[in-house]
A and B are shown apart, each in its own frame.
Chain A
């Protein structure tokens, strides 16, 4: 007759065995006195362990309100964006200083020097999360005014591939939907945005694009782009894609306004540039802004395609 091993008795008492295993052990215990003794001994050992561990427990603590924890999480996300903005500004400064030095030392050096690429970015949200893009898109969590018709009118500005845009006052600095933008953002049609330097237009699939804004930075990198898209239930989400400094600055501004939340910064697709495009490569990120929960925005950011 096979006696019940010690570890199996532990598992039996811990209710970690299947019903059939339990029946097998119980049948054996009914017939075997030594195993019953073992079982009682192990039950005693188990109880003593639980008792000893109960002595090393901190005082019963009341958890702080969940809302407080949520607020801390949101604050942390904002801080991470602000840090990124500061880091990006530092990188841009260093790059500019680097070019200056290079130009002084060697006047023949071309301007196509890349930014240091080591920008640490937060990992994107877990794609398996049950908040789905569809559920976000379907739900009406936001009521931001969408882009007025007049703003969707084709702009009068066409961007040349290598020269900064000469924007008309009407098209520059105009808000896109509820997003208040600083100088340099130019309204653009899709065709123009695409033509303006092989820009890949980021968008959440399945949503109507209600406006596009482009901004050419001080560097030689491809312009930053904002794509406003309308949610079926109303409200607008904004996908911002561009060089790290431009995106971080915009997002930090919008977060400080308190109207919008932002997804975690996500690294964009590698910046492939065709030969002779006139642009230089730069690390790029994208983020989705809107008056939705951060979770929803993270999910949408996961879905953004660059076309």
Chain B
């Protein structure tokens, strides 16, 4: 079992960081929380570790969001943008463009209801419909419906922003 957690740690760490990052929007914090998830997994030895890891990650991200609201601390995407720390080979213009893209996707995701967002992010983290259903309490049959709606809304919201940006420029 110890090996199972270690194996998952090696294979899933970056997926869990990515999942958390899209919830807390702070790369360092996402890493801290991901490590916390695995430390807890070592102590608890869950029966279904994969699903357990994402359930705990989602809970930690929720607690984090609540704490952030309590502190009235507005986590802004741009002040702690991990992409800006990426390779120095990327030109400042490209960096700026990526920042804008990131910001737009972030805003488009925020348009989704919490449940739609959760289902979409879990799916993108590689969870199956059954696992998503178990974690969110949805029926397996409802996962497809939720994903269909979430995908459509995300793309629509993103396209709408693009339209507005284009209109503002012209």
Q: Which residues of A contact B (CB under 8 A)?
A: 6-8, 10-11, 14, 16, 42, 45-46, 48-50, 52-53, 55-61, 63-64, 66, 69-70, 72-73, 76-77, 125-126, 128-131, 264, 293-295
B76 within 8 A of A: no
- Name B6's closest neighbour in chain A (CB-CB): A66
Which B residues, 44 to 66, have Cβ-Cβ distances below 8 Å to chain A? 44-47
Which B residues, 127 to 163, have Cβ-Cβ distances below 8 Å to chain A? 128-129, 141, 143-145, 147-148, 150-152, 154-155, 158
Residue of A58, A72, A77 with highest tally of chain B CB at under 10 A: A58
- Tell me the complex Cα distance, A293–B105, Å: 45
Q: Which residues of B contact A (CB under 8 A)?
A: 1-2, 6, 9-10, 13-14, 17-18, 21-22, 27, 30-31, 35, 38-39, 42-47, 82-83, 85-86, 98, 101-102, 105-106, 108-109, 120-121, 123-124, 128-129, 141, 143-145, 147-148, 150-152, 154-155, 158
Closest-CB distance, A196 to chain B (whole angstroms): 35
Closest-CB distance, A254 to chain B (whole angstroms): 19
Residues of B within 8 A of A77 (CB): 43
- Tell me the complex Cα distance, A146–B121, Å: 53
Closest-CB distance, A132 to chain B (whole angstroms): 10
Q: Known: A58-B82, A59-B82, A63-B10. Is A52-B144 also a contact (CB below 8 A)?
A: no
Residues of B within 8 A of A293 (CB): 2
The A interface is mostly helix, strand or loop, or mixed, namely helix
13 contacts between A and B (CB under 8 A): A7-B144, A16-B144, A49-B120, A49-B150, A52-B158, A58-B82, A60-B14, A63-B13, A63-B14, A125-B43, A125-B45, A129-B1, A129-B47
Is the Cβ of A56 less than 8 Å from the Cβ of B22? yes
Q: A59-B86, A61-B27, A69-B35 are in contact. List 14 more A-B contacts (CB 8 A).
A: A7-B144, A11-B143, A16-B129, A46-B151, A50-B124, A52-B108, A56-B105, A61-B13, A61-B14, A69-B38, A70-B42, A129-B45, A293-B2, A295-B45
